[in-house]
Structure 1
Amino acid sequence: MKHVLLVENHSIVRLATLFIIRDVFPAVTSWETDNFPDALHIVSTRRLDLIVLDINIPDGEGFQMVAKIRRLQPEVTILVFSDIDEELYAVHYLKAGVNGFLSKTSSTPEIRIAILSVLTNGRYVSEMVQQILLRRNITPGMRQSNPLAALSQREIEVMDLLLEGKWTKEIATLLNITGSSVSTYKLRIFEKLGVNTVIELYQKVSTLRE
């Protein structure tokens, strides 16, 4: 019997995902939620084998969600299933501690393979992510075609919050770092992306993500 939590704010996606999971593992007990606070409550009260986690959910906390889940259930398998940019975010989420990263544009057979892989082998990455990891390992100094790929995990967190309109003090509180650290990360982001203001940052990122 597999115990699965689906954290996804679109009911049709939850239904389709659960259908695929039950096709792979017929004996499944499942819980569903559309927001992160409720997800944490379920994680704290139920022993789980698999968490299928969307990143863009109400009250989501980016990379911090992984750390909070791991503090409650260190051994649980976490599969990110999201529409965020796989090329930009997948490696960072794998480093943050998830077992797999799957794009919502994936085909049904690939979703089935991903679920089976994380629950049997403990790991899944798409062919795209495999190529990214291979390039980084073979040529670690190679310049990335997309400058967003040069950002660190923390820089991405700060950038996303800046793009949401958060101020330095708010970002410091959300990420549990000092205001001066936020300013340092902001400066690094601006330097790497060649911008001088948050407005220019928004325009640059919008172009790079098209």
Structure 2
Amino acid sequence: MIDILVVDDHPIVRNGLKQMLSEERDIRVTGEAENGGEMLRLLEERKIDVIVMDLSLPDRNGLDLLEEVKTRYPEKPVLMLSIHREEHFGSRALKAGAAGYVNKRTAGRDLIAAIRKVATGGMYISVEMAERLAFKVGGGLSELPHESLSEREFQVFCMISEGIKLIDIAKELSLSETTVSTYRTRILKKMDMQSDSELIRYAVRNCLIED
């Protein structure tokens, strides 16, 4: 039996996932959490084989939380679940230690297979993502502007694109406002843009944030 911890801040999503997984004989939901803090507590208390975690949580950045989980529980596979397209967040999640990445729009088709795959020590990526990675390695795809950003720069970029002020970004990331401003300057230069408005339009156009 594969014991699952479902982590998502939307009750309707958690209930939908539990309903879908309950139909499988070899999978059961052992716990559910609505934020990162609750997830870490449950990992201490219960036997969990696979973590199915939303990329966007209210109290923690998903990729930062993923790295903490892999540091504390390196043996536990984490499947990242997100509404964002794989080509934008999938590779970053895998680099941060995820065992797989599943788009919420195709979860009904992909999630069961992904859970079984990572529970046995494998990694799961969709056919579409595998093809994109193959093209990229072979030089068939050019790098998108945001793909040149470091993990921290990408995090700041997403927050700016969501309309969050620099001072609030600094507080949330425990950085000085000067440091965040420096990140913003680097982001604009790397992406060859001049303003926050351009960043926001780019993020919306590429489905990096919800419009």
Query: Could you tell me how far 1:151 is from its partner in structure 2?
Result: 3.0
State the Cα distance separating 1:94 from its structure 2 match. 0.3
Q: Are 1:11 and 2:25 an aligned pair?
A: no
Aligned to 2:155: 157
Q: Matches of 1:102 and 1:208 in 2, distance apart?
A: 18
Q: Which amino acid aligns with 2:142?
A: R
Query: Size of the alignment, in residue pairs?
Result: 208
Give the Cα–Cα distance (whole angstroms) in 1 for the partners of residues 86 and 29 of structure 2: 29
- Please state how far the C-alpha of 1:91 moved relative to its aligned partner: 0.2
- 1:114-161: CA deviations, max 9, x gaps? 111111242100112112221222228x523x4333333232112112
Query: How far 1:29 moved relative to its partner?
Result: 5.2
Structure 1: unaligned runs, 5 residues or longer: none
Q: Give 3-state SS (helix, strand or coil) of 1:51's partner.
A: strand
- Please point out which of 195, 198, 201 is paired with 2:196: 198
- Other structure's SS at 2:18 match: helix
Q: Secondary structure of the residue that 1:52 maps to in structure 2?
A: strand
- Does the aligned pair in 1 maintain the 2:9–2:58 contact within 8 Å? yes
Q: Is contact 1:62-1:157 (8 Å) kept?
A: no
Are positions 1:99 and 2:99 aligned together? Answer: yes
Which range moves more in the overlay, 61-70 or 103-112? 103-112
Measured in 2, the distance between the counterparts of 1:44 and 1:91 equals: 28
Report the CA distance shift for 1:151/1:25 in structure 2 as closer, same or farther (over 3 A): farther
Flag the 1:199–1:118 CA change in 2: closer, same or farther, 3 A.
same
For the residues of structure 1 that align with 2:96 and 2:62, how far apart are their CA atoms?
10
Once residues 50 and 182 of structure 1 are traced to their aligned partners in structure 2, the CA distance between those partners, rounded to angstroms, is 35
Aligned to 2:87: 87
Measure how far apart 1:175 and its partner are. Answer: 4.2
Displacement after TM superposition at 1:166 (Å):
4.3
What is the RMSD of the two structures over their aligned residues, measured on CA atoms?
A: 2.6
Q: Please identify, of 35-44 and 16-25, the stretch whose mean Cα deviation from structure 2 is larger.
A: 16-25
Percent sequence identity over matched residues?
28
The answer on whether the counterparts of 1:6 and 1:51 sit within 8 Å (CA) in structure 2 is yes
- Structure-2 change in CA distance of 1:27 and 1:80 (3 Å): closer
Contact kept? 1:43, 1:69, Cα under 8 Å:
no
1:124-163 residue pairs with structure 2 within 5 A?
A: 124-139=124-139, 142-144=141-143, 146-163=144-161
8 Å contact from structure 1 (residues 193, 204) kept in 2: no
Deviates more, 1:183-192 or 1:92-101: 183-192
Question: Offset of 1:187 from its aligned partner?
Answer: 2.4
Quote the Cα distance in structure 1 between the aligned partners of 2:152 and 2:27. Answer: 39
* 1:50-89 Cα shifts (integer Å, max 9, x gaps): 1100122221313101112123312111001111232100
The TM-score, its normalising length taken from structure 2, stands at 0.83
Q: Following the alignment from structure 1 to structure 2, what is the Cα–Cα distance between the partners of residues 7 and 188?
A: 33
Letter in 1 for 2:84: I
TM-score of the aligned structures, taking structure 1 as reference length: 0.83
CA gap 1:3/1:190 in 2 versus in 1, 3 angstroms:
same
Question: Is the contact between residue 43 and residue 72 of structure 1 (CA under 8 Å) also seen in structure 2?
Answer: no
- Paired residue type of 2:202: K
- CA 1:107/1:99 → structure 2, altered by over 3 Å: closer, same or farther? closer
Match of 1:187 in 2: 185
Residue 177 (structure 1) shift: 5.8
Q: Which secondary structure state, in structure 2, belongs to the residue aligned with residue 63 of structure 1?
A: helix
Distance 1:149 1:27, change over 3 A: closer
